[in-house]
Amino acid sequence: MSFRRFMELALHDPVDGAYGSGRLRVGTKGDFVTSPSMGSDFAALLATQLAEWLDQIHAEAPASPLSLVEVGPGEGDLAADVWAELHRLNPAWIGQLELVLVERNPGMESRQRERLAASAPGQVRWTTLDKLAADPIRGVLVAHELLDAFPVERLIWRDGAMRQMGVVLTSDDAGQKVLHWDDQMLPDSIQQQLDWADRHCGISVPPAQVPEGWTTEWHGEVAPWLEQVAKAVASGVMLIVDYAHDAERYYSARRFAGTLLAYHQQQASDELLADAGCRDLTAHLCIDTLLAQARDQGWTVLGQCRQGEALLALGLGERLHNLQRLPATELPQALQRREALLRLVDPAGLGEFRWIALSRFPDEPRESELISRCLEAPKGFS
């Protein structure tokens, strides 16, 4: 089968998939950490920006309900902490706001329900994008570390041509089942997508002078997802937070093995076929193709920046400064929070995540008026 199909099953099969079964754990004691799993400060900073967007959307139709949607909510930490912070801020529209979670994996949904049972009783619902399309929302949609887990095609340059990589199941000399790589001619459907990237983004896959065996990925599922989400949002903003590179860096001849990695018990590995169904598989996004595909689906690009820049603009520096004012009895908690905050903006780690803001409004001129503090120049801190 193609690697894309293998990745789909390894992550999302309801019985044996890492996410589908609920086997994969997110957090400091799980298989990998995310920004929300390191404490509530990330959600509190993000909630500041979400509240500003919701303020502006609410002002357009004050009597209408609002929705905060998270697609792929993981353990539910981000949703729970943002919900709590928005209620602490207590904006005028909080009584009109609903929390909507879109989760395709039953194993993950059961943990989210447990996590949110006490923090948002009666104000949260689980649904699908197809159901949202039947009654599109007004509000903000968040996709945090979601698209990097979309199944991708793995491509390889061999004998003067790009080829599609696949996964083959065979038996070794001892009769044990083993997985190994194979490849075949590039299907026309994938070649057409690469031709689109060349025409619309000026991206050549492969770039010039790549060596034999040069490998990369193609995100064929992002464009259909953007179209699906567009149908679910009548008026509002979408924030994507994820691993991403610009095309020049992504499809570079020097990036010999692409960006695919497997994560298990806080360890990253390029052994992508090992322990199928027990490890996370993730690939960076290409910013140029993502933005072009978003525009094709009717989204307006508000902007994009690195996470470190976004969080500093939203007040992370002030939070670090305020930790110095805590009493000595809270020193251990202060040090723990300080370490977590610094990791969120570390340019060698989480600070390199990209924040990409998109919008959809019936009135096109309205979009240019949106305030996006997270996309402004950061204030810095001392």
CATH of the domain at 341: 3.40.50.12710
Task: Please check the confidence at residue 24 and state whether its pLDDT lies above 90.
Answer: no
In a domain, 293, yes or no: yes
| Other CB atoms within 10 A of residue 201 CB | 18
Q: Are 101 and 114 in contact (CB under 8 A)?
A: no
**What is the extent of the structural domain holding 12?**
3-375
Q: What is the pLDDT of residue 326?
A: 83
Residue 382 included in any domain: no
pLDDT confidence of residue 369: 61
CA 242, distance to chain mean position in Å, is 4
pLDDT band at 364 (very low <50, low <70, confident <90, very high): low
**Closest of 136, 171, 146 to residue 57, by C-alpha:** 136
Per-residue pLDDT for 365 more than 50? no
Could you give the C-alpha distances from 351 to 26, 91, 305, 346, in angstroms and in order? 18, 29, 10, 5
Q: What is the mean pLDDT of residues 159-171?
A: 96
pLDDT at 371: 64
Which one is predicted more confidently, 124 or 371? 124
Would you state the pLDDT for residue 9?
Answer: 96
pLDDT at 108: 87
What is the spatial distance between Cα 289 and Cα 316, in angstroms, rounded to a whole number?
Answer: 30
Predicted confidence band of residue 137 (pLDDT cuts 50, 70, 90): very high
Please indicate, yes or no, if residue 191 is contained in any of the structural domains.
Answer: yes
What are phi and psi for residue 110, nearest 5 degrees?
Answer: -65, -35
Task: Please say whether the beta carbons of 270 and 262 come within 8 A.
Answer: yes
pLDDT band for position 379 (cuts 50, 70, 90):
very low
Domain count, the chain: 1
Q: What percent of the chain has pLDDT over 90?
A: 75
Residue 164 pLDDT grade (very low, low, confident, very high; cuts 50, 70, 90): very high
Residue in the block written with tokens 């038996």: 171
Q: What is the arithmetic mean of pLDDT over 120-124?
A: 75
How far apart CA 358 and CA 360 sit, in angstroms, is 7
Higher pLDDT, 24 or 301: 301
Q: What is the pLDDT of residues 32-87, one digit of tens each?
A: 788 888 889 999 999 999 999 999 999 999 999 999 999 999 999 999 999 999 99
Q: Is the pLDDT of residue 291 over 80?
A: yes
Cβ contacts of 250-255, under 8 Å, gap ≥ 24: 250/216, 250/284, 250/286, 251/203, 251/204, 251/205, 251/206, 251/207, 251/216, 251/286, 252/207, 253/206, 253/207, 253/208, 253/209, 253/210, 253/211, 253/214, 255/216
The answer to whether position 380 is within a domain reads no
- Whether residue 249 has pLDDT greater than 90: yes
Asked whether residue 288 carries a pLDDT value surpassing 60, the answer given is: yes
Q: What is the pLDDT of residues 192-245, one digit of tens each?
A: 999 999 999 999 999 999 999 999 999 999 999 999 999 999 999 999 999 999
**pLDDT for 381:** 35
Could you tell me the two tokens for 150? Answer: 């979309």
Q: Are 306 and 351 in contact (CB under 8 A)?
A: yes
pLDDT at 2: 97
pLDDT given for residue 380 in this prediction: 39
| Residue 349, pLDDT score | 84
Q: Does residue 269 sit within a domain?
A: yes
**Res 77: pLDDT:** 93
For residue 373, which of 46, 6, 1 has the smallest C-alpha distance? Answer: 46
For residue 271, being part of any structural domain is answered with yes
Whether 381 is in a domain gets the answer no
